[in-house]
């Protein structure tokens, strides 16, 4: 990843952490907690977030000229996921990871 700027490297790291947080929380915490943690819209946004975060990281690592577009979408989905996790409750680690990623990706999209 020698071609990445410091800001881009930080964004890749934030995307990977958000991907891990969303997927990990969904597959462990949400499945165990049940109830509103398994509401279809909540599960969908968490899966979308994990997927777009991995994709955004991949586009930056590949040095794709399309990474700003992917990062813009990633920031939007991360903000939605953070709100959903906050509304469901007891998911602060995921909320924080999504917000960090949204901020980083927002800078990459600018």
Helix (H) or strand (E) holding 35: none
Residues 6+ apart with CB under 8 A from 62: none
What's the rounded mean pLDDT across residues 8-36?
97
What is the model's pTM? 0.95
Task: Indicate the average pLDDT of the chain.
Answer: 96
Instruction: Residue 78: name the closest of 57, 60, 63 by CA.
Output: 57
Count Cβ atoms within 10 A of the Cβ of residue 16 and give its class: 0-12 exposed, 13-18 middle, 19 or more buried: middle
Going from the N-terminus, what domains does the chain have, and what CATH number goes with each? 6-109 (1.20.1270.360)
CA atoms of 85 and 10, how far apart (whole Å): 23
| 32-47 pLDDT per residue, tens | 999 999 999 999 999 9
60: Cα within 13 Å, side-chain hemisphere: 30
pLDDT of residue 65: 95
């Amino acid at each position: 990843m020698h071609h990445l700027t410091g800001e881009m490297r930080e964004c890749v790291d934030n995307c990977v952490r958000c991907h891990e947080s969303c997927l990990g929380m969904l597959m462990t915490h949400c499945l165990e907690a049940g109830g509103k943690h398994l509401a279809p819209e909540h599960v969908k946004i968490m899966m979308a977030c994990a997927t777009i975060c991995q994709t955004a990281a991949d586009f930056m690592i590949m040095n794709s000229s399309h990474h700003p577009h992917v990062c813009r979408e990633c920031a939007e989905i991360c903000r939605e996921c953070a709100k959903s996790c906050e509304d469901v409750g007891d998911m602060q680690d995921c909320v924080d990871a999504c917000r960090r990623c949204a901020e980083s990706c927002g800078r990459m999209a600018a």
